[in-house]
Amino acid sequence: MIVALGLLAAVGVLGFAAPRWLDRLAAPHRHPRVSLAAWLSSQVMFVASIAAIPLVLWLRPGDRWHLLPATTVACIRSLREAGTVPWILAIETATWGVGVLLFGWLVGTVSGGLLRHRRDSDERASMLRLVGDNVAGDGANVVRVHGGEFEAYSIGGRVPTIVLGAGAAGLDPDVRAAVLAHERAHLRGRHHLLVAWADALRAALPAVPLAREGAAWVRVLVELSADRHAAASCGCGALSAALLAGSGNGRGAASADTGFAEDRIAWLSGLRATRRGAAVLHYPFAFVLSALPVFATLSVVVTAIAYYCAMLGG
């Protein structure tokens, strides 16, 4: 029960408090993948903690936790077995049932969302490859669709595809190269799958800030991460021109897109070169930032219960 209580508290901390510090990670001087990895690993840690609650109630690892003093372990057992707290068995049973149901709901909703995303992506890519034309010189799986609109997007799936409108295909070579570098960064980083995961988690738990706000942040951060790669490959000038061309230069309904494009260009102006070796620490740092609240919360709960038992023993 002691570990389950700690995990339950950790679920609350991650689900409702984590966005308070995660949204501060995004900054122009920091690579977007740090913030992206922190959001995603926090979401995975959140789901894993929910799954672990019924598991630890079944295995009861707290009864064999030899790091605690023997008197504390005996006190914790007595809370359940000696009837010191008569309703603890009912709380354990209810927590176990809620944990199983919640995890089952998450698995069903998220896996269903991911499967629909994969199916829809494959169908859409197949249709576009049939009606579009291959663009010579731009690499494999780059398709041009007819029409004068500027369109440039990528589709993940079994056969990843980059789609260019006639306007995008007719851009200057350096600007078109920046567009393609951006879309290839999406495909290489499996950004479509990350967005689908975040959207499915939001659909499963719309009231939880980590899921609700995380879905919006993941969409923004994958764009910034792809921008970073394209700017490193083709230069900030070419990418800025591509972003402005794609936004329609603020005409008509594209004004909102223009605002986002201008924000991304402003973000590019604050880029700093990643120091050699620093990139290796991005993912470990994000994982530690996600795992630390779980272990800290567990430690606080264990310490509080141990102190309570020590007071009873005194």
Give the pLDDT score at 83.
Answer: 55
Q: pLDDT tens digits, residue range 185-239?
A: 999 999 999 999 999 999 999 999 999 999 999 999 999 999 999 998 898 889 9
User: How many domains does the chain divide into?
Assistant: 1
Residue 48's pLDDT is what?
93
Q: Which strands, in side-by-side order, build the sheet including 133-134?
A: 133-134, 142-144, 161-164, 152-155
Which residues fall within 8 angstroms of residue 33, CB to CB, at 6 or more apart?
A: 189, 221, 225, 228, 282, 283
- 26-50 pLDDT, tens digit each: 888 888 989 999 999 999 999 999 9
The boundaries of the domain holding residue 123 are 2-313
Identity (one letter) of the amino acid at 97?
Answer: G
What is the structure's pLDDT at 250? 41
